[in-house]
Amino acid sequence: MSLQPEGCIINGMTFDSCQLYWRHLLIQFNGDIRSNVDGEAIGKYPLLRPGEGEFVYESFTRLPASSISGSAEGYFKFVRGR
């Protein structure tokens, strides 16, 4: 994740920094939903500013031995930098 040069726009207002607050992830194996993560970020709450390096968000889950394929999709919510 990184911030655009113009900053962070939340509800039409521009801020010079944003901070990770919430995430929603839907994890599927073999076409079945196995995990629906919806809540506050755990551990790190990166403060993103224009021109600074990227923050890499990492997460993991165990794959069942029988899984042929898997996928994850979702979104992140940010708040004004604190």
What are residue 10's DSSP bridge partners?
A: 13
- Among the listed residues 56, 39, 57, 47, the one whose alpha carbon sits nearest the alpha carbon of residue 80: 47
Distance CA 32, CA 20 (A): 28
Distance CA 49, CA 18 (A): 7
Q: Residue-wise pLDDT tens for the chain (82 aa)? A: 677 778 888 888 888 899 988 889 898 888 888 888 888 777 778 888 888 888 887 777 777 777 778 888 999 888 988 7
Distance CA 23, CA 20 (A): 8
- What global pTM score does this model have? 0.68
Assigned token pair, 27? 């994890």
